Structure formats: structure tokens, C-alpha cells
Amino acid sequence: MMNITPVVKQLLIINILFFIGTFVLGGFSMESFNPYNPAFRILSLYFPENPDFHIWQLITHMFMHGGLMHIAFNMFALYSFGSTLEHFWGGKKFLFFYISCGLGAALLHSGINFYTYQIGLNHLTDLGLENQIQNFLKTGGMSFSVRPPDLDQQILHDMFFAYNMPVVGASGAIYGLLAAFAFMFPNAELALMFIPVPIKAKYFVPGILAIDLFLGFKGQSIFGAGSTGIAHFAHIGGALTGFLMMWYWKKNQFNKNRWN
């Protein structure tokens, strides 16, 4: 087993400190994400038009986690794949890659949320309910004497949660690491806890991305019925950013240069 590398160690410490601090502020209930926790409200990534959005959330949300299993899985993956990549790249290049993948994940997730929000906005506008939009976004409710027959509750549900529900976690950056690992070591066999048979990285990573893509387009990442509570498109965004960076570095032989 490879020893933990310096930047990975520092990232682990920062994530753990954020995790402990968050739940101390929220009464130390570590079972689930609580958007009313003051740390979550300040540091999670909100929809850009939400008044709780702040520019620093593009970075800070990567260090926030919604529960023990959430942080445990992400930190295990960070240690397992991150230490290997940092060993070959050096600390500066690894950190640049990690943060870039996290940003790519945030941008794709926010883009999907914006699309979802616009669908809801157009739906309400087409029904002549423009005056209900602000109240709906704040409370989730509307008032009218006669309910429009074409009012789509699923569209409204998706719009409300896209606008109000923040995202937390290092998963987007972690998926970038997975993509890079599969790019560099395609024939490495991954033996994970929930898969009894080792699978080569070149099959495993595209496989889990295909599952995320399927669940995303099925609607479960956009808070539909049976929602998993997982930002699947953030995973796709992180992995896509990681793949594009690896492709660019290989094309320009950037991977031969160490940054430290």
C-alpha cells in the first residue's frame, strides 16, 4: 500500500476539520445533510441566483460533506487514487488538477440546475403565473382561486429544489481522479468493497460514469421521484474535466514536466 503523499494528507485534514466544525455548529448530528446548519448555508454551493450564493462556494463546497458515510467514501477514494497520482505528478500539479475537477463538477451541476430552473420559469410564465414565482421559490407554495389544469407539479418540484438545495462534497474532484487513474493505468485492477471481482480501471470508470449518466437523464439527479440525493451530473462534470485535462496534457506532453 502506497504511503500517503503530502498534498493528499493536507486535503484529508482540511476535509475532516470542515466536517467536524460543520457538525459542531449544527449540534453534532452527523447522520444527514442539514441545509439550515449555518456552516452549510455559508460554505455549500447554492444556485447562483439564490441569495445564499457566494463566489467562494465554488471552492468551499468541495470540503463539505453531508454525513459520515459521505466523507468516509470520498476520503478513502482520495487516499487510494490521489496518493498514486501525486506520487507521479508532484504536489502542485496534483492540487491544480484536483481543484480544477471540482470546479468542472460545480459548473456542470450548476448548468443543469439552471436548465431545470428555466424550464420551471417558462412553465409558470406560460401559465400567466409570473406574480407567483418569487413566493414559490421562497416557500414552495402558490395561491390562486382556480388551479390551472396544465400546472405540472414535477416541473415545479424540480425548479424549487434546483433553486434552493445546495450541493456539498468532494465527489466531483474524486471522479476527476478516477478518470485520471484510468487514463494512466487502464489495466490496473480495482477491487472495491461492493464489487467482489476485480475490474480493470478502463472498464470500471466508464461503467460507473454510464450509471451516473443514466440516473442523471432519468431525472433522479434533478430531484425527481425516487431521487437518490446524489448530484450525478457533478460526477460527470468532474470526470469529464479530468479526462479533458489528461488528454490535453498527453497531447502536449505536459505530463513529462513536474511542477515542483
C-alpha to C-alpha distance for 218 and 143, rounded to whole angstroms: 30
Number of structural domains the chain divides into: 1
Q: Determine, yes or no, domain membership for 184.
A: yes
User: Could you report the per-residue pLDDT of 182-223, keeping only the tens digit for each?
Assistant: 999 888 877 665 566 778 878 888 787 787 777 766 654 333
Res. 224 pLDDT band, cuts 50 70 90: very low
Q: Is residue 1 part of a domain?
A: no
Q: Taking residues 164-185, what's their average pLDDT?
A: 92
Among candidate residues 238, 191, 189, 232, the one with its CA nearest the CA of residue 214: 232
Q: Averaging pLDDT over each range in 14-23, 132-141, 206-215, which range is the top one?
A: 14-23
Lowest mean pLDDT among 79-83, 138-142, 193-197: 193-197
Average pLDDT, the chain: 84
What average pLDDT does this structure show over 76-95?
A: 94
- Is residue 185 domain-resident? yes
Instruction: Tell me whether residue 250 is in a domain.
Output: yes
**Residue 116 sits in a domain of what CATH number?**
1.20.1540.10
**pLDDT, tens digit (0-9, with 9 covering 90-100), for 123-134:** 999 988 888 888
What pLDDT is attached to residue 182?
A: 92
CA distances from 169 to 87, 123, 141, 189, 209 (A): 24, 31, 29, 26, 17
Q: How many percent of the chain have pLDDT more than 70?
A: 83
Given a cut of 80, whether residue 40 has pLDDT beyond it is: yes
What pLDDT score does 225 carry? Answer: 33
Percent of the residues in the chain that have a pLDDT greater than 90, as a whole number: 48
pLDDT at 92 over 70: yes
Q: Say if residues 65 and 234 touch (Cβ distance below 8 Å).
A: no
Structural domain contains residue 22: yes
pLDDT at position 223 is 34
Is residue 35 predicted with pLDDT exceeding 80?
no
Residue 86, pLDDT score: 96
Q: Containing domain of residue 128, as a range?
A: 6-256
pLDDT of residue 16: 95
Read off the DSSP letter of residue 140: S
Mean local confidence (pLDDT), 228-246: 85
More confident call, 240 vs 37? 240
